Chains A and B, each alone.
Chain A
């Protein structure tokens, strides 16, 4: 078993890892649909979405590794960190194919996350960090297709049959407690905003709402009231599902140290 790596976590490294890990873990969950989606076209679409996200994660992890300066590289960052050193949104680590979640949860999550990434990439494309700006400008174009595709499904299921509407509304109730984290600022956000590295999470709230409101209206979905619960995956405190996800994601690299394709 390969030992985990330890990182020098400056605010900049943390900020980039939050985005990288959100893309990486979101991709890992979407990959679980490969071979299992309800229709072939969607199986392929979810795999393609996952590939785009994985590509975005790779570019960001490579960049985070460079900023961190320890010479670890993208693979070590992806596979050799301990749970508390991952900084993804908690929402993306929740199961999609177990625990009552289903295809509605999958499309809703894709929509919620794409609507959050779209304004994030947009803002990052003018970052003071030219490499981050370049990665973001490229990702912004890809996310536009993800957003459109997921929005189509949210409306199709939300405004579909009684059964599909019931399931999409149930998925929204399950996801909603984790949405507050998307806009929850802390010192890392403040440092990124002050140094013009990127926007604080709170700045994404208005553009996010602007893109979800019309889609939820078309889908006849009503978000539940906001509660007091706050998740903190972006700070390294994860749900009980993260350990299992990492065990699967890291297995090959831990079992065969240094293995490459």
Chain B
């Protein structure tokens, strides 16, 4: 009996490592763990691994693809069977994107959220988002929505490059 929790923990820890390599299909710089959408991993009843996911935007077209990718990766790593649960509350926020995730976003050319979601006054956010290439804050917003609802489009007035910004929400 005493060895059992250790075995369970090992499976859960392995699952977190596997999930850290499952990428968001829309923003492939980030894993589902970086995004903060994996809320819980635990050993459930009947030997299934229970994974709780929180969707990002209500209309994100990647939600179902992400769920399928998560299940497939865990099963492929021999950690199945897997039970996925979608949890809406508390609602996902960009505050849950990890520090590592923010660095990866910037390296990928997408400016990470530059304010806490609770402080996100959208009018202020429209300006002065630091350029992910040259770090200048002399930037301007071109469009409130980018290639996906979670991003807006901006341009840097110093290096003149356009870039996307992951909006705080």
Residues of A within 8 A of B (CB): 41-42, 44-45, 48-56, 58-59, 130-131, 133-135, 137-139, 141-142, 144-145, 148-149, 152
Contacts and interface: CB of A to CB of B under 8 A. Distances in A.
Nearest to B86: A59
B146 interface: yes
16 contacts: A44-B143, A45-B145, A48-B59, A52-B149, A55-B57, A55-B60, A56-B58, A58-B58, A133-B89, A134-B88, A135-B88, A138-B89, A138-B92, A139-B58, A142-B57, A145-B144
A55 B122 contact: no
Given A52-B59, A53-B59, A142-B57, A149 B145 contact: yes
B148 interface: yes
A44 B149 CA distance: 9
B47 interface: no
Interface of B: 57-61, 88-93, 117, 120, 122-123, 142-149, 153, 167, 169
Residue from A45, A50, A139 with most neighbouring chain B CB atoms (10 Å): A45
Nearest to B91: A138
A48 B169 contact: no
B86 to A, nearest CB: 10
Contacts, number: 80
Given A48-B145, A133-B89, A137-B90, 7 more contacts: A139-B58, A141-B93, A141-B169, A142-B57, A142-B169, A148-B123, A149-B145
Nearest to B149: A48
A218 to B, nearest CB: 12
Given A49-B145, A51-B149, A59-B58, A145 B88 contact: no
A159 to B, nearest CB: 16
A44 B90 CA distance: 28
Nearest to A140: B91
B142 A41 contact: yes
Q: Could you tell me the dominant secondary structure of chain B's interface residues? A: loop
Contacts of B169: 141-142, 145
Nearest to B61: A51
Contacts of B142: 41
A149 B143 CA distance: 9
Nearest to B64: A261
Given A48-B149, A53-B59, A149-B145, A59 B88 contact: yes
A145 B89 contact: no
Nearest to B122: A148
Nearest to A130: B89
A135 B88 CA distance: 7
A1 B72 CA distance: 37
B58 to A, nearest CB: 3
Contacts of B92: 138
B88 to A, nearest CB: 4
Contact of B91 (A51, A134, A149): A134
A129 B124 CA distance: 34
Contacts of A55: 57-60
Contacts of B120: 144
Given A48-B148, A52-B149, A137-B90, A145 B59 contact: no
B58 A144 contact: no
